[in-house]
A and B are shown apart, each in its own frame.
Chain A
Amino acid sequence: MSQRQVLQVFEQYQRARTHFVQAVAELSARPQNIGTLRDAGVMSLLRPLLLDVVPTIQQTAALALGRLANYNDDLAEAVVKGDILPQLVCSLSEQNRFYKKAAAFVLRAVGKHSPQLAQAVVECGALEALAVCLEDFDPGVKEAAAWALGYIAQHNAELSQAVVDAGAVPLLVLCIQEPEIALKRIAASTLSDISKHSPELAQTVVDAGAIAFLAQMILNPDAKLKRQVLSALSQIAKHSVDLAELVVEAEIFPVVLTCLKDSDEYVKKNGATLIREIAKHSPELSQFIVNAGGVAAVIDCIGSCKGTVRLPGIMMLGYVAAHSENLSMAVIVSKGIPPLCACLIEEHEDHIKAAAAWALGQIGRHTPEHARAVAVTNVLSTLLSMYMDIRSSEDLQLKAKRALKNILQKCTDLPALEALLHDAPPNIMKHIVGQFSKVLPHDSKARRLFVITGGLKKVQEIKAEPGSLLQEYINTINNCFPEEIVRYYSPGYSEMLLERVENYQPVL
């Protein structure tokens, strides 16, 4: 009898513990409860439950801790300070798969907030244990371990190097080949986080043979997986020409172009980012992309998206056009300018407008043909207004000014130049007048038009310092016309005439 009573007490206690831990886990799933839980001192209560006899209680306690740490970095710091991590790391190697998943979840939740916390996780020796978990049979365990490694590696290059030194990269490449989609996603995302920091890390990932598998997975229909795969490839390709060439050799073109037509916005964005990172390195790579029809696909992509999703596409066009004039002409021929002008006008964000202005400048700066192609769309006045607008950010103003300057220095299209003549500031006026002074001496019809449209009048009204470049240009222009016309249009001519009338002695 008494033995049963004693045992009953223990049973009650166990039931109470189980109930408590399950309730805490449920409550910590909702963010509004977490403040209350923390104030109630849940951390100190959960800690001994991690060492409980019953495995279910251990797992549930770990799960609750993970959820708490996930929410807030104060709680994560409390986890670190409470010396919970070494215990978790030890048991990571021994316990069953549910506990491993929960422990990996805690490590991930702690490591994601800041580099210092991630460093604390690394110092507990978590990386080796997580790398061992990557070899486990259960895909859930692998996924949790890969996720934790990814969050640790995303902060900076040293942490990434620590992850690589723990031997995680070949195991991650093996994980990518697994059939479970979630595991593939997480492994791709971790590889992307590792390789984004430096070329050496990217080279390590490439040496493990990741590119071939990542390239195969571009064809997978799952949208989130495609996002991560494209992001990983673009992080690898961005560092140097050799890495970009390796990525291209994996035969991603023209398959990548189908990603630009995906229904998911971020797949489009990451696809455009990948193409941009490849195109920016060298003219040969840009040429290759143009030959594969990449420019057309990107232009369509820009036309169909709105917002930040467009930005990588715009930059890609700018990079391609910047390399050489043939490539710039290829961009023009692929009807690249109208979407860029539309971007410039429609977008609200200044950085996207600045990128569009820069891209237009790169397209138009090579030869008069290119400048005419840009000027015909009347985008120069938009650029000028953006430069003059005080509400534009400094970056936008600078880029608009540079683009305007570059295009104007090659522009011989007089109607477009005249449109700008009327409200340009002096530093832009210099270029416009310079272009006029180059074209007018040789073309009589243009001179006639110049007079008719009031350009000569405007030029006379410009006040320039004598001896400056602007004055020289004005003189050149004035020398193209007969004296009478120049005097006629010079300001104050009517007053001068009237004065002459006053001083005239009539001949009787």
Chain B
Amino acid sequence: MVAVASGGRGEYGRARPAGGEAVAAAGGVFPQEQVSMLVIYSIQDRQSHRKKTRRVNLLELLCNFLMRSFCLCFLAHFCTCFLLVLPNLTQDFDRSVDEDRKIAYKAAVKIQSWFRGCRVRAYLRYLNKMAISIQKWWRGYQSRRYFRKMIKTAYFIMKMNFYNEMAVRIQKRWRGYYVRKYTHNYYALKKYLEAISLNNEIVRNELQEYTEMTEKEKKKKDLEKKEKEKKYKARKMHYLLSTEQIAGIYNSPFRKSPDPMELLLRQSKPLSHRRQQVRSPFTYELYDWPTCKRPPAFATGQPLPPIGKQKPQGPFRDTAEVLWQRYKPLEPTLRVAASINSPLEKAREEMKREEWRNCIHDNEFLPFSSYHKNEKYDLSIHASEKTGQETYGIKHFREVQPNKWIAGKGPREGEQESFLTVAVINQ
């Protein structure tokens, strides 16, 4: 079958003016279709790949068209040649030979050009086919490579998905475990809350104990204070004790047993008088020593009697006189007698005496009224001294006689009270 096609090519390649060929060629048009169809089917048989059918179809069409057109053209041309040739057998030979030559030349050119054209087209077809073949193989190769790569990636992705899923499972289990064990540990929370309740109970008990203890202590203190007050009152009112003759108010004869107050009175010691604090004698001595107001005590005294000496011979003076003269007290000059700082001291003394004199009483003014809370009440003159003629100014003058006091209270201790701070007052 290939021979037919190539034969066709060869046939067309040769420039044959003979008409028979042309007829045969023209007559072969119809069967040529069938031939071309056979060619096509043979090509199809050779190559099984489906994709070529389209190109084959195109090829088929092209072949058909070419062949048909070529045949038609050739036929037409040959017919004109034939027609032209046939009538000019007898006429002007020269004109017709020249024209024939031209016609034959043109025909030859056409044939040659067509043939060249056919050759080039055949060559191009060949090149095209080769190019297609190369591209076909190359594309196949590339696609297979790409396919392999795709397979690899798909495999890889599948593996990774699998790993991820497995990892998720592990993590899920782990996270659940971790959270349940450490972060939101239900049992630990339960234990913790139980421990808190327990601890709260303990704390509450301890605090309760503490409150009870403080209350007890407070009660005890209050009781002790009351006891002390009672005892002090008993000591103060010791005179209410009953005697043999007169029953005291707490020891009524109609009672079975004496009142507890009576017993307390019996037990308590009466309060003693408060004595005025005696100034130590040393203070005066030390005060007067540098100023020499008082003579030194050890020098004078009873002069010891002589130890039975003979009266000394000679016109001596009286021993007593001499002794007197000898032990005459020192009569220092003003300069010696006065101390070094004496004018200043005198002035200071003056000032102090003046101040003392100007104050109405020696009690220091206590600024806050709370200081006056614990003051002793001074009995008035009428209550504190006995009736009758005043001995003051007659019997004694400006002296203090504690044994004459009735109530047994001393003078206000103005000097002894120190300036009390707020602290002591508030306690």
Q: Contact residues of A with B, CB < 8 Å? A: 11, 14-15, 18, 22, 25-26, 29, 54, 56, 59-60, 63, 97-98, 101-102, 138-140, 143, 180-183, 254, 257-258, 260-261, 263, 290-293, 295-297, 300, 326, 329-330, 333-334
Contact = CB atoms under 8 A, between A and B. Distances in A.
16 contacts: A11-B357, A98-B419, A102-B367, A139-B421, A140-B423, A143-B422, A180-B423, A183-B423, A260-B207, A263-B214, A291-B196, A293-B200, A296-B204, A297-B203, A300-B207, A326-B192
B202 interface: yes
A254 B419 contact: no
B193 A140 contact: no
B300 interface: no
Q: By CB atoms of chain A within 10 A, which of B207, B208, B367, B369 has the most? A: B367
Nearest to A301: B207
B196 A60 contact: no
B361 to A, nearest CB: 11
Nearest to B208: A261
Given A22-B365, A254-B203, A258-B210, A182 B423 contact: yes
Contacts of A296: 199-201, 203-204
Nearest to B364: A56
A504 to B, nearest CB: 62
A258 B207 contact: yes
A344 B302 CA distance: 99
Given A291-B199, A300-B204, 9 more contacts: A11-B357, A138-B421, A143-B422, A261-B211, A293-B199, A293-B203, A296-B203, A326-B192, A334-B200
B203 A60 contact: no
Interface string B305-318: 00000000000000
A337 B176 CA distance: 33
B92 to A, nearest CB: 111
Contacts of A180: 421, 423
Interface of chain B: mostly helix, strand, loop or mixed: helix
B202 A293 contact: yes
A326 to B, nearest CB: 6
A34 to B, nearest CB: 15
A261 B207 CA distance: 7
Contacts of A300: 204, 207
A263 B365 CA distance: 38
B189 interface: yes
A56 B365 CA distance: 8
B204 A329 contact: no
B24 interface: no
B421 A140 contact: yes
B193 A333 contact: yes
Interface in B341-376: 355, 357-360, 364-365, 367, 369
A11 B367 contact: no
Contact of B367 (A14, A54, A59): A59
B197 interface: yes
Contacts of B333: none
A329 B193 contact: yes
Contacts, number: 91
A101 B425 CA distance: 15
A425 to B, nearest CB: 36
A22 B364 CA distance: 11
Nearest to B210: A258
Contact of B210 (A11, A26, A261, A329): A261
A98 B359 CA distance: 18
A11 B200 contact: no
A357 to B, nearest CB: 24
B204 A297 contact: yes
Given A56-B365, A140-B421, A182-B423, A330 B207 contact: no
A333 B196 contact: yes
Given A15-B360, A140-B421, A182-B423, A295 B207 contact: no
Contacts of A297: 203-204, 207
A326 B195 CA distance: 13
A15 B358 contact: yes
A181 B423 contact: yes
Interface string B202-225: 111001101100110010000000
Given A56-B365, A59-B367, A263-B214, A290 B196 contact: yes
B283 interface: no
B6 interface: no
A181 B425 CA distance: 12
A25 B369 CA distance: 10
Contacts of B359: 18
B35 to A, nearest CB: 81
B267 to A, nearest CB: 33
Nearest to A11: B358
B243 interface: no
B277 interface: no
Nearest to A304: B211
B212 to A, nearest CB: 10
B90 interface: no
Q: Which 6 A-B pairs have the closest CB atoms?
A: A293-B203, A296-B200, A182-B423, A140-B421, A261-B211, A180-B423
Interface in B364-393: 364-365, 367, 369
Nearest to B420: A140
Contacts of B199: 291, 293, 296
A198 B128 CA distance: 96
A95 to B, nearest CB: 14
Contacts of A261: 207-208, 210-211
Contacts of B200: 293, 295-296, 334
B426 interface: yes
Contacts of A102: 367
A60 B367 CA distance: 7
B207 A139 contact: no
B248 to A, nearest CB: 41
A293 to B, nearest CB: 3
B344 to A, nearest CB: 19
Contact of B423 (A139, A257, A263): A139
Nearest to A294: B203
Contacts of B208: 261
A26 B369 CA distance: 8
A181 B210 CA distance: 23
A101 B211 CA distance: 39
B350 to A, nearest CB: 12
Contacts of A330: 192-193, 196
B367 A143 contact: no
Contacts of B367: 25, 59-60, 63, 98, 101-102
B190 to A, nearest CB: 10
Contacts of B427: 181
A63 B364 CA distance: 14
A140 to B, nearest CB: 4
Given A25-B367, A56-B365, A258-B207, A334 B422 contact: no
A14 B358 contact: yes
Contacts of B203: 254, 257, 292-293, 296-297
Contact of B189 (A258, A291, A326): A326
A327 to B, nearest CB: 10
A254 B151 CA distance: 73
Contacts of A290: 196
Contacts of A291: 196, 199
B263 to A, nearest CB: 35
A98 B201 CA distance: 54
A172 B355 CA distance: 38
A290 B200 CA distance: 9
A236 to B, nearest CB: 25
A17 to B, nearest CB: 11
Nearest to A290: B196
A59 B367 CA distance: 9
A293 B202 CA distance: 8
B196 A140 contact: no
Contacts of B210: 258, 261
B198 to A, nearest CB: 10
B372 to A, nearest CB: 10
